[in-house]
Structure 1
């Protein structure tokens, strides 16, 4: 079992008025095979956590630690984190004109693994994953996310996760902007990635609807940069009925 361990993490972001602390001592352990859901109101630090783990340069870790299997993640460059097994599905995937989905995925896989995948096996696996995600085969020859709908971009993020096979996937509001059908397909893609691997998932979301399809082992409520409460799936159900008011009053 591998563990992604976050201890007393403090993260600041530069704003027009100077540095602002967003995460204020967040502690969380995620074991491989587990699914952890992070929920919380706007501005609580959910996306900041995702970007800090991925190594976004705008987000400065001022104290605390992050380790993956005992290795210091914070000392790694962005590409080293990917090679170590960290993956981020972005809330707002960017367009990359001129780079096809096929070339992007195979180049990324080669960089992560240190060697190019066998072409026949790779092509077969890519076609199968795209089919399961209800993606038109033509998308393989299109530029990355260029002209994609919101749902298509999110499916492409899950396609990346399936093909790169990370140890831990951080899904930053992958459910946002999806209709019911697209949500189901994306959720099935997450579950499929977990079925035949030891993938650990950190699922960041505002709403419980995705948790009806991707059942979490643990749910954490993030408020004002800290974990205010942790529990099982029943905590998400309570949040659905009660909201975050009691946490905001306490904060």
Structure 2
């Protein structure tokens, strides 16, 4: 049974004026079979949560804990977190000139599993994943994210998700910059992952449109570095209609 347990997490980031606290006590538990959607205004700390879970060096954890199936995530290096079963789909995937998608994916799979995948089955798996995401097989020969459209970058992230097969996927605004067709393709890829046994998803988004295609188990309103309210799908509909104003005003008091 997969469980990502975040308890009273406090995180700071260095600024010109010194350390600034971004996360101010976040508590969330994502179990297998669950999809948790985090929604909130810009600057509320949603991406900070994602990067802190993944181990980005820019962010300093000053309190709280993060465990995956009881193991201390915060004591792990970034690569150890990935091998333990954590995956981050970034809001702004970086370009890696000179490294082909095919080589990148196989190197990543080898690092995660501790052994190289058998080439014949691996090529088939890659082509199947790319085809399912409306990516041409020649896509594998291109340099990672170099010259990719926004939709290609996000679909490539989901191809990684399908092939690396983590326990918990943290998806940071995977829907940003996507047209409706690309959004549906990405959502279908996430749903294929969710259908596998023992998988959890933490989905960060500004908008409810992706939740029309990915049904959340829980929706959390994130304001000023904390979870202001939690609920079901109906909470997302409420946010769509009313916005975040009441939560922002309450946090400012």
TM-score (norm 1): 0.99
State the Cα RMSD in Å. 0.7
Query: 1:79 and 2:86 equivalent?
Result: no
SS at match of 2:130: helix
Deviation at 1:203, TM superposition (A): 0.2
Q: Which residue of 2 aligns with 1:109?
A: 109
- Give the gaps of 5 or more residues in structure 1: none
Q: Which residue of 1 aligns with 2:236?
A: 236
Structure 1 runs of 4+ aligned residues shifted over 3 Å read none
Q: How does 1:197-212 map to 2 (within 5 A)?
A: 197-212=197-212
Deviation at 1:195, TM superposition (A): 1.8
Q: Which residue of 1 aligns with 2:52?
A: 52
SS at match of 1:156: helix
Query: 1:65 and 2:65 equivalent?
Result: yes
8 Å Cα contact 2:32/2:197 also seen in 1: no
Query: 1:146 and 2:146 equivalent?
Result: yes
- Give the gaps of 5 or more residues in structure 2: none
Q: How does 1:65-214 map to 2 (within 5 A)?
A: 65-214=65-214
SS at match of 1:207: coil
1:22-72 deviation line (CA, Å, top 9, x unaligned): 000000000012100000011110000000000000000001000000000
1:193-227 deviation line (CA, Å, top 9, x unaligned): 12233221000000000000011000000111110
SS at match of 1:66: strand
Q: How many residues align?
A: 251
CA distance in 2, matches of 1:134, 1:103: 20
SS at match of 1:174: coil
Q: Which residue of 1 aligns with 2:19?
A: 19
CA distance in 1, matches of 2:70, 2:198: 17
SS at match of 1:204: strand
CA distance in 2, matches of 1:167, 1:196: 10
8 Å Cα contact 2:2/2:199 also seen in 1: no
CA distance in 2, matches of 1:35, 1:25: 21
SS at match of 2:227: strand
Deviation at 1:174, TM superposition (A): 0.4
1:125-158 deviation line (CA, Å, top 9, x unaligned): 1111101100011110111011100110000000
CA distance in 2, matches of 1:206, 1:140: 31
1:156-195 deviation line (CA, Å, top 9, x unaligned): 0000000000000000000000001100000011011122
SS at match of 1:129: helix
TM-score (norm 2): 0.98
